[in-house]
A = this chain, B = another copy of it.
Amino acid sequence: MPKAVILLSGGLDSTTCLAYAKQQGFECYAISFLYNQRHRAELEAAKVVAQHYQVKKHLVFPLDSAALAGSALTEKDIEVADYSGETVIPATYVPARNTVFLSVGLAWAEALGAYDLFIGASCVDYSGYPDCRPEFFEAFQKMASLATKEGVEGRPITLQTPLLYLSKAQTVLLGLSLGVDYSMTTSCYRLNEKGEACGRCDSCVFRKKGFAEAGVADPTKYY
């Protein structure tokens, strides 16, 4: 079986992405990042999901927070706002986060001998983060092809973004067709101590909308 590295946050998208990669016949290596994020419960969810899908290895990669600072997701004194629908980049944007995550994923893929690197990003129901746009992923692919030994040898590591053009509802339906149990996943930026979701941050709003538009029950517990 060919190997693949999958970025796994424990949220709805990355879990669907892992289920998809598994269904495509890949031996899956999941990687999650510990970057002082507010929503640590994500990591617990990622562990449950990784175990459920019996990934070959689940790497929890610590990233010193000083270099990923200045975001509402990493700084306690910056507030996570309710979803506003505005088109500006929100305070929850973490500097160059996907670039760092994908770079480490690329390094691990190269070290493992994996030729596929999956990320469950979408540019449809999303917060307008620059590093979730198709043009970013295209540029990352070009860079990655030049950066690695595999690229030089003519078989670059392929960045796989199967959810990129899917709405949240389409992602939910894809996941359900793959048998994903979304009660394992968590998306909220402001989870309470019981792991219940706020229902009002960007991430919650997109998630709720996804289940509603897909016409399926939302297993999320809201406070």
In the complex the two chains form, what is the Cα distance from A63 to B98 in whole Å? 16
Query: How many copies are assembled?
Result: 2
Q: Tell me whether A130 and B148 are in contact (CB under 8 A).
A: yes
User: Which chain A residues (61-90) contact chain B, with CB distance < 8 Å?
Assistant: 61-64, 66-70, 89
Nearest-Cβ distance from residue A153 to partner chain B, whole angstroms: 9
Q: Is A103 positioned at the interface, with any CB of B under 8 Å from its CB?
A: yes
In the complex, which residue of chain B has the Cβ closest to the Cβ of A140? Answer: B143
Q: How far is the CB of A110 from chain B (nearest CB, A)?
A: 4
Task: Verify A111–B69 contact, CB threshold 8 A.
Answer: yes
Q: Tell whether A136 is near chain B: CB-to-CB under 8 Å.
A: yes
Q: Which residue of B lies closest to A128 (CB)?
A: B152
Cβ-neighbour of A130 out of B63, B70, B105, B152 (below 8 A): B152
Contact between chains at B135 and A99 (CB < 8 Å): no
Chain B residues contacting A145 (CB-CB under 8 Å) are 139
Q: Which of B97, B100, B130 contacts A151 (CB 8 A)?
A: B130
Once bound together, how far apart are the Cα atoms of A214 and B194, in whole Å? 66
Interface centre among A63, A67, A94, A97 (most CB of B within 10 A): A67
A98–B61 Cα distance when bound, in Å, is: 18
The 28 sampled A-B contact pairs (Cβ below 8 Å) are A61-B64, A62-B62, A63-B104, A66-B108, A67-B107, A68-B111, A94-B107, A95-B108, A95-B110, A95-B111, A96-B147, A97-B107, A99-B107, A99-B148, A100-B100, A100-B103, A100-B104, A100-B106, A103-B103, A130-B146, A130-B149, A130-B152, A133-B146, A136-B147, A139-B139, A139-B143, A139-B147, A142-B143
By a CB distance below 8 angstroms, the chain B residues around A104 are 63, 67, 100, 103
